[in-house]
Amino acid sequence: MESIDLVQKLPTRLDAFRRLHRHTLDHREQFWAEIAEQLQWQTPFSYVVKEDFSIPLASWFCDGQINAAQNALHRIIEKGRGDARALVFYQKSGHTHTLTFNELKDKVLRLAAAFHRAGLIQGDCIALNLPSCPEFVISALAAAYLGITYLPIGCHLPPSIVAEDITASRAKLVIMANSNAYEEKKSHAPTVRALLEDLSILISGETIEGIPTLEEYMAKADPSGLEPASPEANHPLFTVYENRLAGKHVGSVFPTGGFLVQAHASFDDIFNKTLDQDKPQMIVNTLDIYKAPAQAYGLWGPLTNGTGIVLIDEDIRVNTIEDILNEQPNPALLCPPTLISEVREQLGQGQLNTAKRFSVIASCGNALPPRLVKYADSILVKGPERVVNLWVQSKSGIALLNSYPTPELNRPGTLGFGALGVEPIIINDFGEPCKTNISGNLVFSQSWPAMPMATPGTTEHFKKTYFSKFKGYFFTYDGVRSDKDGFFWFMGRLDDSIKVKGQSLGASLIEGVLTSHPLVEEAAIISTQNKSGEDIVIFVVPRNKIQDEQKCIDQIKDYITDKIGHFAVPKKIIITDQLPKTATGKLFRSVLRRIAAGEEPLD
């Protein structure tokens, strides 16, 4: 294989890229060691990886010590980028707030000093119930500087769930905003405080009687002489909860070393190394900040590469896109697929009032269909190859498959290739490899650096869910195929996952919540398609005869809001005497879909 300087570029020709990918698999540990050495380690790692999927175990960069915040700030400033834009915040008021790397570092160290003064130490946890805002970024970096694990909690969740998550994490401090993202209720923080009793809570962005503000907390902190922590590579950087199962919080604990290395490398590969020009200087993050993909590509990945972050304090609008394109140096866009649909709905047949375009659009979630790639090419980017897909799951943390912004390494609608140093495998239900263009189960036989650990008390659930169906493999529950050129294509989910308003929901999880309601005997959930994604329709069999159907429906909606969140409230609830089932008792979801679509009567 020809020599390639992986620090500077990736090959843009298909044949050369596939040879490189094979080389990174054949020399996997050497490849990841060289990638890891691009970052600053306080103590070098003694070996690259120790893994055993029968346990399961995945431990990367063992014995190494690394500080994530120093790599995102100090290391970039030492390279001469201290006065470059690190964080830009577009506010609802129309104002824009900008911080350079030097200014961001000063705020991070001041908050870290406040944490230290309050007695927080390495190994503690703080909870961040914040939207996409500078305070989230500053808090996450300050926590990492001291080796404190942070727990992002979505602002779409009701106070009861927020309080449960905080309690489960054993967080010693909570930093939060005072409104629920969907309901805009201004009693959110006081309600959470009442549920948590004596736990320390800080409020960001406003003043509430009895709750200190983040600014007050930081006011007297002195960062002089504050030393950075030296967490080991496997030390938890952050935790994400995905659901609550039988009283246990099921989620992912992402390791500092592995996550930082792979976030840095993946961001650089996708946004920089295949571009000879128009490399982005800023990344506009419209993903949910509390999820792992936003942590990878909207925080740690860009900052460790010296790329600035743009955050927006509202649902993104066309005028905001125009402002960003005109005001920010060569921005790229990180977004869910639904954003492209929303821009098309806002613009109609119109065009942007600017000739400037994003250097790259990275769609994270379901693969962006060719019709939307074509639309984005006509409105938002300079060429369809500049629209890339990132295949990321909650348990991968970082894209394990992705396309690249160059003609030969991208196809509209594709998931792309396996990430460098990562080998996706397609097998049938008997565990045998699938041939070209034959759909099968997407699995991985080896770990990747950012692979998370299970949250405490859920290791057996983690093992059973992801490692039991195919022995020796991590099972993704995605059906895919690969073509003759090595591109992977999504064929469908192999479980009951439904994606609504950007949130992945398990049908069985919602059905379990519903059947715990005193009015409900049985429940079934199905999804229906709309222009921007999926809607939920729920069928309910009541325990007893219902006198007021609408009152029953309203009570069920309130119950879902309280137990899961407003985002999970269905478009429609249908009351029925029985659910259609086979002779063996299996639910006929296909019949329910036809009923929901009005194609079949409810008998």
Per-residue three-class SS string for 196-253: HCCCEEEECCCCECCECEHHHHHCCCCCCCCCCCCCECCCEEEEEEEEEECCEEEEEE
- Topology adopted by domain 497-596: GMP Synthetase; Chain A, domain 3 (3.30.300)
- The pLDDT of residue 581 is 73
- The pLDDT of residue 39 is 98
- Answer yes or no: is pLDDT of 500 > 80: no
Q: Confidence class of residue 589 from pLDDT cuts 50, 70 and 90?
A: confident
What is the Cα–Cα distance from 51 to 279, expressed in whole angstroms? 36
- Answer yes or no: is pLDDT of 209 > 90: no
What residue spans in the chain does CATH classification 3.40.50.12780 cover? Answer: 14-67+254-493
Q: How many residues does the chain have?
A: 603
CB-CB neighbours of 584 under 10 Å: 5
- The pLDDT of residue 154 is 92
Q: Confidence class of residue 180 from pLDDT cuts 50, 70 and 90?
A: low
Among 210-214, 333-337, 452-456, 596-600, whose mean pLDDT is lowest?
A: 596-600
Q: What are 549's two structure tokens?
A: 């159907």
DSSP per position, 500-560: ETTEEEEHHHHHHHHTTSTTEEEEEEEEEEETTEEEEEEEEEESS--S-HHHHHHHHHHHH
The Cα-based distances of 70 to 66, 164, 227, 237, 427 in angstroms read: 8, 32, 11, 13, 42
Higher pLDDT, 382 or 247: 382
What is the Cα–Cα distance from 578 to 601, expressed in whole angstroms? 13
Number of C-alpha atoms within 13 angstroms, CB side, residue 172?
A: 13
E-state strands within 286-399:
308-312, 331-335, 361-364, 387-391
> What is the overall mean pLDDT for the chain?
90
The domain made up of 111-212 is a member of CATH 3.40.50.11240: no
Ramachandran area for residue 412 (φ above 0: left; ψ -120 to 50: alpha; else beta): beta
User: What superfamily does domain 14-67+254-493 belong to in CATH?
Assistant: ANL, N-terminal domain (3.40.50.12780)
pTM equals 0.87
Among 20-29, 64-73, 458-467, 585-594, whose mean pLDDT is lowest?
A: 585-594
The DSSP call for residue 167 is H
Share of the chain above pLDDT 70, in %: 93
What residue spans in the chain does CATH classification 3.30.300.30 cover? Answer: 497-596
- Answer yes or no: is pLDDT of 40 > 90: yes
Q: What are 310's two structure tokens?
A: 């743009």
What are the tens digits of pLDDT across the range 120-141? 999 999 999 999 999 999 999 9
What is the Cα–Cα distance from 216 to 117, expressed in whole angstroms? 13
Distance between first and last Cα of the chain: 66
- Answer yes or no: is pLDDT of 186 > 70: no
Higher pLDDT, 411 or 585: 411
Q: Confidence class of residue 533 from pLDDT cuts 50, 70 and 90?
A: low
Q: What is the edge-to-edge ordering of all strands in the sheet holding 453-454?
A: 200-203, 173-176, 125-129, 149-152, 236-245, 248-255, 453-454
Among 69-83, 183-197, 339-353, 439-453, whose mean pLDDT is lowest?
A: 183-197
H helix runs in 337-405, sequence order? 337-347, 370-379
Tell me if 538 sits within 8 A of 514, measured CB to CB.
yes
Q: Confidence class of residue 508 from pLDDT cuts 50, 70 and 90?
A: low
User: What does residue 563 show for φ and ψ, rounded to 5 degrees?
Assistant: -90, -30
